[in-house]
Chains A and B, each alone.
Chain A
Amino acid sequence: MSLNRKVIIILFSTIISANMLLGIAPLSTNIGRSISKRLDPIRWTIGLGQKWDMFHSIPTHHSLRVYLTANDASGKEYRYGAGLPSLREISPRKLIRYHYTFLRLFNDPLNKSFKESYIESISQTLLKTDPRLRQFTIHFDHGRINTLESIRKGANIATTRVEKFGPYKVQGKMKR
């Protein structure tokens, strides 16, 4: 092996391992946040993100159901699924990425542009599906797990909390 190749390998390995080792500081600490702020733009652009928080925060959701209701000019209500492109019913339990997607879109302000884009896409699809529709609402039925103590005392596993987003206008292009 040539000397140049050896130098390149050692440099490459040193840089990649330094990036990994810097990733061990948790984001909840000042040093972790500081490193993350500086390195994350490069890390995530080239695919070397170091965020290993799988299950550090335990899931407290028992179930999640997302669907839409839309009203025409007379106020009559129609129900649709939340899955695009065809407004089909989706099952976040069967397809777990929908669970993460909807929770992140509607619970994390950092995902605002994805949320706005989703609302716009829903609006346009509803207009194509039925031009009589005027407005729509996105419904979230979360099953939140009760405390272990209360389940022991006979409570249900989870309590369903109903959250509604909207109403939003059904239109071709949304005003932001």
Chain B
Amino acid sequence: MNAFSLLWLKNIDPRRYAIARIGFALLLLSHFVHLFPYRDTILSNAGMTHSSAAKIGFHQLTGGTSISLFNYFQSSFEVTIIFIFAIIASLILAWGKWARTTLFVCFFIQLSFIHRAPASTTGWDSILTNLGFILLFSPLGKDWNPWNLFRQWNKKQINLKAPQYGLVLIQLQVFIIYWQTVIQKLGDQYWAKGESITYFLLSHHGRFLGSWPVAWHDLLDKINYLTLIIELAIPILLWIRNTRRLGLWIGIGLHLSIAILGVNLALFSLTMIVSYLAFIDPWPTSYKLRSSTK
């Protein structure tokens, strides 16, 4: 088998998919709970916009076709029922029961939200649909619910195997997210002048009000450039086994800082941290075993 095929087809321990599925399901649960207070205002016809206008608006913004559930279920009551359904589906997905079906339900409700209210979306909405789409066509480690996984955590070898393509695609997506955002930041005057963190902390996103970031600007200027270096480095550090632990610490540190210093950004941080689960390998195949299977 050539290297390209092996990149996608190499067998790994399916418990890795179970970790990714459980983490993603809990992330979806948090996300749907976060969206719950907005549901009436941005998704029902009693709210800000009518679904017929949203269909046209989605097409004007993206060129795509709106296939939202909320084009058909338009009342406040129906939107609420769909959200309750999404919350229940994400809990069942975490448990691993009917994993593919519940993941499809969660993915389609999230996609429907983006199609119905694209003007109300944030960066992490797209991350959720991208990761959801990949997982929808990947092994889900559904033989492991959280309890089984906990009990069999220390078991060295599992007879079942799963191809690694789903996790590799998520790793690649993490890479693209960080690198594209850095490329875009390099063209921005605030990032180029070292002022971005200071402005961020003074903005509506800043948790601690006041003009204190201006007094700390000399330090924040250095953190500005350090952030760009860190964002370039995180996917590389995560990819290389020997530096993975360092990558995890730096990445989690970066996103916890964003969640602590910024308001309303905890879900973004959680989304990025959950995406790191695709890199974690608590059960690496030993060199001996790999050699014997060749």
Are B49 and A118 closer than 8 Å at their CB atoms? Answer: yes
With A53-B181, A96-B264, A148-B217 as contacts: A84 and B48 at CB distance below 8 Å: yes
Give complex CA distance A42, B63 in Å: 8
B217 touches A12 (CB 8 A): no
Q: Are B64 and A41 in contact (CB under 8 A)?
A: yes
Residue of B nearest to A104 (CB): B119
Nearest-CB residue, chain B, relative to A22: B176
45-64 of chain B: CB within 8 A of chain A: 46-50, 53-54, 56-58, 60-64
Interface size, B (range): 35 or more
**Residues on the B chain within 8 Å of A27, using CB:** 184
* Interface residue tally for chain A (C-beta within 8 Å): 74
A13-B165, A24-B179, A52-B177 given; A121·B130 CB < 8 A: no
B183 proximal to A (CB < 8 A):
yes
Is B13 part of the contact surface with A, judged by Cβ < 8 Å? no
Minimum C-beta distance from B188 to chain A (A): 5
Does the CB pair A117–B49 fall under 8 Å?
Answer: yes
B5 at the interface (CB under 8 A from A): yes
Judging by beta carbons under 8 Å apart, are B200 and A23 in contact? no
Question: How far apart are the CA atoms of A101 and B54 in the complex, in Å?
Answer: 13
Instruction: Find chain A residues with CB under 8 A from B183 CB.
Output: 24, 26
Give the complex CA separation of A40 and B57 in angstroms. Answer: 15
**Cβ contacts under 8 Å, A44 to chain B:** 58, 62-64, 114
Contact B62 A40 (CB under 8 A): yes
Contact across chains for A59 and B204 when beta carbons are under 8 A apart: yes
- A100-B187 CB under 8 A given contacts A49-B129, A61-B203: no
Main secondary structure of the interface of B (DSSP, over half): helix
Decide: A100 near B122, CB < 8 A? Known: A23-B180, A47-B111, A47-B114. Answer: yes
The 0/1 profile, CB within 8 Å of B marked 1, for residues 56-75 of chain A is 11111111100000000000
| Chain B residue with Cβ nearest A99 | B204
Asked whether, in the complex, the Cβ of A53 is within 8 Å of the Cβ of B204, the reply is no
- Interface hit among B81-89, B131-139, B149-157, B280-288: B131-139
User: Within the complex, what minimum Cβ distance (angstroms) separates B42 from chain A?
Assistant: 7
Which residues from B are CB-within-8-Å of A61?
203-204
Minimal Cβ-Cβ distance residue in B for A150: B214
Known: A20-B176, A52-B123, A97-B120. A9 touches B8 (CB 8 A): yes
| CB of A139, distance to nearest CB on chain B (Å) | 16
In the complex with contacts A95-B37, A120-B50, A121-B50, A60-B9 CB distance below 8 A: no
Binding site for B on A (CB under 8 A): 1, 6, 9-10, 12-13, 16-17, 20-21, 23-24, 26-28, 37, 40-64, 83-85, 90, 92-101, 104-105, 110-114, 116-118, 120-121, 143, 145, 148, 151-152, 157-158
Top 8 A-B residue pairs of the complex, sorted by shortest distance between their CB atoms:
A117-B53, A47-B129, A41-B63, A56-B184, A96-B264, A44-B62, A45-B64, A54-B123
